[in-house]
Amino acid sequence: MGGGEPKDFEFKAELKLEGAGANSGVQFRALKLGEVPGNPRSKWETRGYQADIDNANANTGALIECCAGPRRGVAPRPDRAFRGQVVRTATADGQKPSLLATIGDPDVLKTYWKVGDWNQIHLIARGRTMLYFINGHLMSVLIDDHPTMFVDHGVLSIQLEGRGDNVASFRNLWLKNLR
């Protein structure tokens, strides 16, 4: 697919989170879940792969599957590549993902995220392989070999999770289709 639902692509952006509990991410190859009557913000909810970022540095650098909106749609799979991991998703229902390799010490990798400052994120999605870089450092790789759950195209969406005085600012967004 082209246009608004990239398939194989590279995406770069600069991102700054403000607030101790700030949590953000970039969802890609995502599906828009549609608006729930009486909840106008629900029209922006998506479910797809996500490059995760948070100022507490708990999941920064992880590639996950997220979200299903408030209890709707298909629940995200627990398969994820944490910071410092190359992971192959489960290949059948009831199986577990496989850790294929490690690419660095997670505690060292998390130091590359500059809390309260501008950071560059870089995503590459090509076929079933997804790579996630922060400030030029490879954080995680996810290979989705599930025969029915793999998604090869969808919308890109930026996210701010949580409430209150948390802020996610994005600038210099760049997208290159690879097909």
Q: What's the mean pLDDT when you consider all of the chain?
A: 89
71 Rama sector, left if φ>0, alpha if ψ -120 to 50, beta otherwise: left
Helix, strand, or coil here: 91?
Answer: coil
pLDDT at 2 (0 to 100): 46
**Average pLDDT rounded to a whole number, residues 1-25:** 86
Residue ranges covered by each domain of the chain: 9-177
pLDDT per residue over 60-117, tens digit each? 999 998 876 656 667 788 899 999 999 999 998 889 999 999 999 999 999 999 998 9
Token output for 114: 């500059």
What is the homologous superfamily of the domain 9-177 according to CATH? Exo-inulinase; domain 1 (2.60.120.560)
**How long a stretch of residues is the chain?**
179
Instruction: Using the predicted structure, report yes or no on whether residue 123 has a pLDDT greater than 90.
Output: yes
Alpha carbon 4 to chain centroid distance? Answer: 17
pLDDT at 1 (0 to 100): 41
pLDDT at 175 (0 to 100): 95
Pairing, β 98-102 against β 119-126: unpaired
Where would I find the H helices in 66-137?
106-109
**Average pLDDT rounded to a whole number, residues 20-39:** 87
Token output for 122: 């870089």
CA distance 55 to 23: 6
**Average pLDDT rounded to a whole number, residues 120-138:** 98
Instruction: Using the predicted structure, report yes or no on whether residue 163 has a pLDDT greater than 70.
Output: no
